[in-house]
Amino acid sequence: MHPLITMEVKRWNERQVPSLTAAATEALEDGYVLYMPHLRFEVSADEVDLLDPKWLAPGAKNISYDPRADAIGHSSATGAALTHLNWMLARYAKLTRELVTHLCPDYAPHLKDGLTSFRPAEVAGRSTSARKDDTRLHVDAFTSRPTGGLRILRVFHNLNPRDEPRVWEIGEPMREVAKIYVDRVPPQLPGSAWILERLGIVKGHRSEYDHYMLNLHDKAKLDEERQRSCKRTRVELPAHTTWMVFTDGVEHAVLAGQHLLEQTYYLPVNAMHDEKKAPLRVLEELTQRALV
């Protein structure tokens, strides 16, 4: 089955019938991408200039917005530009929460806000290390922001003003990735999580689950043979379209594209319809022990 499931959603706050919300939730938990070709994020006249990569801070690949603090990070914008940038990303955060609330209403009371990101720079041709290279297939795991088992739900929108697509590859479910690499993950060093947290290298406690997920992320990216040969589906996501996926649950890679909006949400495992599909439960099944 194709990894994209098309949803005819046209408004961010559009109420959905229970049969559709149940199907959308099940598809997400099964690792599919919910694709909404008619759901558009409108940019005001004051925001058009923000699409220029010049507003990225030196060395940054994305501009971030923290909805909880109402604060912009990794941007060189000041004055009116900063104000407009703040408003644009705050609006995207608000609209995406409305979308998830109406499309997956059972998740709504449990969602935890993550960062909002704007990525105005072109992906193709960017020079980086293999571990940071998002053109390689990977499941999401955050080095500095451990989740402790929370699901990573992300809502993307291609804001490209030249009608250029965002090009993705979608690989295998996280369970298949884990089967390959789980026995190659070295034990987490005793006391390492405490040291990383105390030194401020990691924002929070890096659980054994986070240790496994980071290793799956890195080992998959560094496996040259599998990166060349594993099954994947190439998809081109047109400008002004929206898609949503649990990025910790399915391999994905970004080959090309510019001007992307992205909102991260975290969801407790016990808020899922079927928590056996969560990466945490998959890894606990494979390792035969609790990981948080």
Name the percent of the chain lying above pLDDT 90. 97
Sheet holding 250-256: strands in order across?
233-237, 166-173, 250-256
Residue 1 pLDDT exceeds 80:
no
Beta strands in the chain, from DSSP E residues, in sequence order: 4-6, 33-36, 63-66, 71-73, 112-119, 151-158, 166-173, 233-237, 242-246, 250-256, 260-267
Going along the chain from its start, the domains and CATH numbers come out as 4-287 (2.60.120)
Distance between CA atoms of 136 and 222, rounded to whole angstroms? 9
| Digit-coded pLDDT (tens) for 15-34 | 999 999 999 999 999 999 99
Question: Which pLDDT score, from 0 to 100, does residue 267 have?
Answer: 98
| Digit-coded pLDDT (tens) for 156-198 | 999 999 999 999 999 999 999 999 999 999 999 999 999 999 9
Q: Tell me the average pLDDT across 39-47.
A: 95
| Digit-coded pLDDT (tens) for 105-152 | 999 999 999 999 999 999 998 878 999 999 999 999 999 999 999 999
| Digit-coded pLDDT (tens) for 71-98 | 999 999 999 999 999 999 999 999 999 9
Question: Which pLDDT score, from 0 to 100, does residue 52 have?
Answer: 94
Please check whether residue 236 is in contact with residue 33, taking contact to mean a CB–CB distance below 8 angstroms.
no
| Digit-coded pLDDT (tens) for 47-69 | 999 999 999 999 899 999 999 99
Whole-angstrom distance between the N-terminal and C-terminal Cα of the chain?
Answer: 33
Residue 236 pLDDT exceeds 80:
yes
Helices 279-287 & 174-181 angle (0-180, nearest 10): 30
Question: Which pLDDT score, from 0 to 100, does residue 125 have?
Answer: 86
